[in-house]
Chains A and B, each alone.
Chain A
Amino acid sequence: MKVLLVGSGGREHAIAKLIRRSLLEPRIFVAMDYRNPGLEKEAEDTGGGWRIVKTTDPQSVAKVAEEVSPDLVVIGPEEPQFHGVSDILREKGFVVFGVSRRCAEVEKSKVFARTLMWKYGIEGRLYFKAFRDLSEARKFIEFAGDVVIKPARQAGGKGVKVLKDTQAYLSKDRQEVKKTYVEKLFSEMEHFVDIDYKILVEQRVEGVEYTSMVITDGDTVLPLPLVQDHPHAFEFDVGPETGGMGSIQGPGWLLPFITREEYLKTLEIVKKVLDVLQLEVRDRYVGAFAGQMMLTGIWGPTVIEFYSRFGDPEISNLVPIVVNDFLEILDRAASRRLAGAKLEIDEESVTIVKAIAPAGYPDNKVLASNHPIAIDEQRIRELGCETLYASIEMRNDGFMYTKGSRVFEIVCVGKDYEDTYKRSELAVNYVRTLDGHPLFYRRDIGSKELLSDRVRVAEKVRIVYRSRAEKGLLGKMLVWVPGEGIFENPLIGFVR
């Protein structure tokens, strides 16, 4: 079977690894933006090939597809979907595992996604207010309280400002930051001409995060095991937001801090959103879908955002544990024959993914880019771990260079967290830059300490949301303005 994989990063490398073991004997062709050595190797090993194209340009991707004439196209990242790559390929008669432009709106526009949840009263929704114009946002922010400010469009895991504001004595300082940030974000969002709203101010919540991914052909929804990503750049959840510094999974379908009941509730939310989304955009959803969730005291399972693709690095956790034919599943989804399909995983194992990034990531791309880098994959394999190539480019001089984002993802599997953690910590040592530029990764991911901390936090919010559920207060945030009445609005600050 000929498969064309669109995309250039770690997620696509994970997909390639997942599908290459298929009994359908795939020849993998890759359409990528730069020479990712990992993807190149998968392509060459399977007797496929690779092309460098602008993956967000539908015409160029279509040209490659016509050349390759694949039996199945798999689209990895969100941006090609936003640009209509899936649509044009389908029009041309290709079988595509990838979400249409209209359906991908659920990731692209956070306003759209949130509005959808409110319109259909789906649980786990947060209060928000969206702004098209700066002066209106400025005015609103004067009185905003404990909120998060976000770009209204998916901007690649950046730009989210969480401003915990529960202490009046520091409120003015946070106010100042909010104001300046709104200005800054507006000017940064200026260049996105494909959106209406520019920024979003939403209710801040606390708890433990997890990702629930599914595969769907529009009718049948096939859940993947839960995975937890780690958005902070540095150890112990310190530092700026990144696209994810690593993730943990297992054992089985749940995570140690999420109950079966919470998992089922999450799936219920995800399925409802898929239903109403298709209804709303009048299009069929074919591809991967994910809820990036947080277990909170307000709701229990709460939606932070949606992905119209597999999570990166979340999909990497699946590489060592999927037992049956992943390609067959993608193919069945793409050709709308998913009913009856089953995903089998190794339910006894856990997986830990650690991303390795050059210093400078995520806020200084220039500093993080163009460093020659080397890896000893063999030694990593000996530890029972796999290497995924992410933001890394093979140049004509025969050396690999960093491209500014996470360079590698090291995926380790084992019987329990303790053992897997130990090996993952050894495996990360086999990566180094050749020019001495510092690299970093998070030692704490997968550690006993962090895991027990998550369990503790989950337990805390669980007590809160269960008690709220009993009182019929799930999701509610009541504010009393004397003389005016009771409102539901958690966005306003201490002083109106």
Chain B
Amino acid sequence: MSSLLTVYAFDELWSLVNIVRYGFQALQHRGSQLYVLCTVKDGVTCYEDDDVDISRHALDHVAIAATYADKNGIKTSVVSRDGVEVAVVTDRAWRKLPDFASELIREVKRCRNVEEAFKSTLQRFVDEKDSIPSIQILTNNREVIAWRTPHGLTPLVLGSYCFDMAIVSSESTAVDILGGDVKKFMGAGEGVYISRYLVKTFATSISKEPSLCMFEPLYIARHDAVVDGVSVYIFRKLLGEKLAEHLDTEVDVVVGVPETAIPYAIGFSHKIGKPFELAFVATGGRRRSMLLSDPFEKIIAVHLKMNPVKSVLEGKKVALIDDSMVTGATMKTVAQILRFRIGVKELHIFIASPQLISTCPFGIVNLDMKTLLAANLSSDLARDYLEADSLHWLSREDVDTVCRKFSLKLCGRCFGVNFLGG
């Protein structure tokens, strides 16, 4: 998980220090383990840090930046050649990145047109089996390209602030938080070239059949985000309603695992006409437990997130909703809390995704096969492990139905299928 961010102020009066900082904050849920910032001083300079304060370097009026949930692999490359300098930042690790960057700079020198150079360089990397990530580039001439990966696995939006700024971000939330308006959802393989005197969007011939990563609307994006024109909140609510169709018994209350599962639970409750209750209160800031790789850290995060509101749950038949179940560790913890600390009468667990059974071939979400609950335990065994009265997942057809409503095509390789919304 990660996100890209470009801020281009057309007026040199702007310093972007705070603007990049708040942009990062609006994207933190997509990763806060590593921050990258590239800007132009004497030449192109890139900074890397695990602290959001890295934005202090954004003193120029042009910056490209990124946040990541992990520090693995090569995601940034800066190259220079006879007075031309280029920084290339990708939204996921790409082992071809150094080659790409040096090829790119050769092309820039050759054809003197950054957009053309970028396109022709891409051409040479198409045959690669591993999909090319989304890319941002910045030259010492303050020319920027932000380009969306050919399958559109991860999203990209173009926004603007008054007459003064172009903003590109992996998620619409950054544009909102920076006071801008979202102007365009970039298509798969589509890019935007931004310089002081020219802005234009362009398509590349390597655009593929689009398929957005299922995790994007399911888990990664914030509820207030709009991904490829689709409201994440409404998408989640509709999946929640679908999920409710799997209910085959009576429940008294519906609760969601905070915070991502809340809209699913609201949709679920709406559908069955039983109250949705706020069941857990978090301590400390919001941390996305799924992002933590250290299992102990993860449990700590879960425990801090889940102080239960006992009175709404005690002695009740509870439908507990979560957006996805990877290792089941979070769910196990929550189930234990509900069973032992509260004493619910019945516990029915609903997962708003199909079963995760394989790793992500694109490295968007880092999954380890041997820790995937659904890939290793039978449904009955999983239910017993979680001490639930029943355990339900969304079916592929459920997801398809909702996708179709929004004309969304989702990549679901980690669920063993692709979801067609067309």
Interface pair A164/B162, CB less than 8 Å apart: yes
Q: Is A328 an interface residue (CB 8 A)?
A: no
Q: Say how far B161's CB is from chain A's closest CB, in angstroms.
A: 7
Interface pair B160/A170, CB less than 8 Å apart: no
What 0/1 readout, one digit per residue, does chain A (346-389) give for beta carbons within 8 Å of chain B? Answer: 00000000000001110110010000000000000000000000
Q: Is A167 an interface residue (CB 8 A)?
A: yes
Interface pair B14/A236, CB less than 8 Å apart: no
> CB-CB < 8 A to B340: which residues of A?
none
Interface pair A162/B163, CB less than 8 Å apart: yes
> CB-CB < 8 A to A468: which residues of B?
none
Interface pair A164/B14, CB less than 8 Å apart: no
Q: Is B347 an interface residue (CB 8 A)?
A: no
Interface pair B162/A163, CB less than 8 Å apart: yes
Q: A359-B198, A367-B197 are in contact. Are A239 and B163 (CB under 8 A)?
A: yes
Q: Is B158 an interface residue (CB 8 A)?
A: yes
Q: Say how far B5's CB is from chain A's closest CB, in angstroms.
A: 15
Q: Is A232 an interface residue (CB 8 A)?
A: yes
> CB-CB < 8 A to B162: which residues of A?
162-164
Q: Say how far B270's CB is from chain A's closest CB, in angstroms.
A: 25
Looking across the interface, which residue of chain A has its beta carbon closest to that of B158?
A236
Interface pair B166/A239, CB less than 8 Å apart: yes
Cα distance, A161 to B158, chains bound together (Å): 21
Which of A173-181, A318-326, A483-491 lies at the interface?
Answer: A173-181
Q: Is A480 an interface residue (CB 8 A)?
A: no
Q: Say how far B119's CB is from chain A's closest CB, in angstroms.
A: 15
Cα distance, A438 to B112, chains bound together (Å): 13
Q: Is A238 an interface residue (CB 8 A)?
A: yes
> CB-CB < 8 A to A22: which residues of B?
none
Q: A161-B163, A170-B179 are in contact. Are A234 and B199 (CB under 8 A)?
A: yes
Interface pair B22/A235, CB less than 8 Å apart: no
What 0/1 readout, one digit per residue, does chain B (154-176) give for beta carbons within 8 Å of chain A? Answer: 00001011111010000000000
Cα distance, A337 to B161, chains bound together (Å): 47
Q: A160-B163, A239-B163, A239-B166 are in contact. Are A170 and B197 (CB under 8 A)?
A: no
> CB-CB < 8 A to B22: which residues of A?
169-170
Q: Is B124 an interface residue (CB 8 A)?
A: no
> CB-CB < 8 A to A233: which residues of B?
199
Interface pair A238/B199, CB less than 8 Å apart: yes
Q: Is B201 an interface residue (CB 8 A)?
A: yes
Q: Is B276 an interface residue (CB 8 A)?
A: no
> CB-CB < 8 A to B15: which residues of A?
173, 176
Contact of A177 among B14, B179, B181 (CB under 8 A): B14
> CB-CB < 8 A to B10: which residues of A?
239-240, 363
Interface pair A237/B183, CB less than 8 Å apart: yes
Cα distance, A163 to B181, chains bound together (Å): 13
> CB-CB < 8 A to B160: which residues of A?
232, 236-239
Q: A164-B162, A170-B19, A170-B22 are in contact. Are A235 and B200 (CB under 8 A)?
A: yes
Interface pair B166/A173, CB less than 8 Å apart: no
Interface pair A170/B163, CB less than 8 Å apart: no
Interface centre among A161, A239, A241, A440, by most chain B C-beta atoms within 10 angstroms, is: A239
Interface pair A235/B201, CB less than 8 Å apart: yes
Q: Is A172 an interface residue (CB 8 A)?
A: yes
What 0/1 readout, one digit per residue, does chain B (175-190) give for beta carbons within 8 Å of chain A? Answer: 0011101011000000
Cα distance, A169 to B19, chains bound together (Å): 9
Interface centre among A166, A231, A238, A240, by most chain B C-beta atoms within 10 angstroms, is: A238
Cα distance, A319 to B201, chains bound together (Å): 31
> CB-CB < 8 A to B13: which residues of A?
176-177, 180-181, 184
Interface pair B197/A359, CB less than 8 Å apart: yes
Interface pair A440/B179, CB less than 8 Å apart: no
- Residues of B near any A CB (own CB < 8 A): 10-11, 13-15, 17-19, 22, 158, 160-164, 166, 177-179, 181, 183-184, 196-201
Known: A164-B162, A236-B201, A238-B183. 20 other contacts (CB 8 A): A162-B162, A162-B163, A164-B161, A164-B179, A167-B177, A167-B179, A169-B22, A173-B17, A180-B13, A184-B13, A232-B160, A232-B163, A234-B166, A234-B199, A234-B200, A235-B199, A235-B201, A359-B197, A359-B198, A361-B197
- Residues of A near any B CB (own CB < 8 A): 160-167, 169-170, 172-173, 176-177, 180-181, 184, 231-241, 359-361, 363-364, 367, 438, 440
18 interchain pairs, CB-CB under 8 A: A161-B163, A161-B164, A165-B179, A167-B179, A169-B22, A170-B179, A173-B18, A177-B13, A180-B13, A181-B13, A235-B199, A236-B183, A238-B158, A239-B163, A239-B199, A240-B164, A367-B197, A438-B198
